[in-house]
Every structure is written in C-alpha cells, then in structure tokens.
Amino acid sequence: MTTRSDVRFMADGGIELGAWLFLPASARLPSPAITMAHGYAGVREHGIAKFAEAFADAGFVVLLHDHRTFGVSGGEPRQDVDPWRQIADWRRAISYLESRPEVDSSRIGGRGPGASRPAARRSLAWTPARPPRIAPRTRATFTSSHSATTRHGKTP
C-alpha cells in the first residue's frame, strides 16, 4: 500500500513549501521519482493526488508540492502567480528528492498538468550556465492530464 506523508522543504528566500510525499509499498529502493505540482494557481488538493498515487503504486516516489503563496506553502502576497519563482521552487523540489534515501537521484522526472508543464520542463532543463539536474543518460518526460486522456482514453 502506498503511503502519503506531509513534508516541508525550503525554497529561495526562506520560503517553506508544503508537499505530500508518496512512497511506494513494494518498490526496490532506491526508486525513480517524479516531482509534481498543479497549474499556476492550483493546489495539491485539486485532483492530481490520484495521479501521484497511481505513479507510487507503479513503484515511483512522488513529491506533490504547492507552489509558494498557494495552499500550505508559505510566501506573501498570497495567491500571487510568479512563473519564474515557481520554476525555482520546482528546482528546490528536485533537490529535496535528491536528498531522500528512497530516491535514485539519477532517475527523477516531472509531471506538470496543464499550465504547469512548461515550468516543470524548464526546471529540469539544461542551460550552458547551469549543469543539468538530471543525469545526461536520463530523459525527463512530462505529461499532462489532457495528453494522458487523449492517448490512453482514460485517467488513473
């Protein structure tokens, strides 16, 4: 059975981000991991936990966080959408997963539904000024609820 726990990790500016950490019941450790967050203004309770649970049931460690200024995460002003800060927060989520003993840090991917997909993709992207967050031999794959439904005809 998948377990879900509340966790917190620090982001830039001393902001504490709140998240659910889903651990697979029968996976070999360390396991691959997926970092997730909702679209720009959504929170973890807005229906994507079922995807996190499905990934955890398949053997992934999953971190589902609220963006800064939303949900249980800190930051002011509340409900302020700042895509660049959200990208920075995704990077902190990756760092948090890399620090977990249950996670194979060379196998971390992201899932951003809807409007959060570009921010998730950018958070893992390589640039000349910054080395890649994901091992070069590993591809980070991003999906959205729409693409999963369109391709497979159903959602978890």
Rounded to an integer, what distance in angstroms lies between the CA atom of residue 141 and that of residue 156? 18
C-alpha distances (whole Å) from 133 to each of 45, 90, 107 are: 27, 11, 10
Question: pTM score, two decimals?
Answer: 0.77
Poorest-pLDDT segment among 68-77, 82-91, 96-105: 82-91
Contact status, residue 97 vs residue 61, Cβ threshold 8 Å? yes
pLDDT at 152 > cutoff 70:
no
Could you give the angle at the alpha carbon of 33 between the alpha carbons of 25 and 100, nearest 5°? 80
Closest CA to 115 of 38, 46, 49, 52: 38
Q: Answer with the residue of higher pLDDT: 83 or 130.
A: 83
Domains and CATH numbers, the chain: 3-152 (3.40.50.1820)
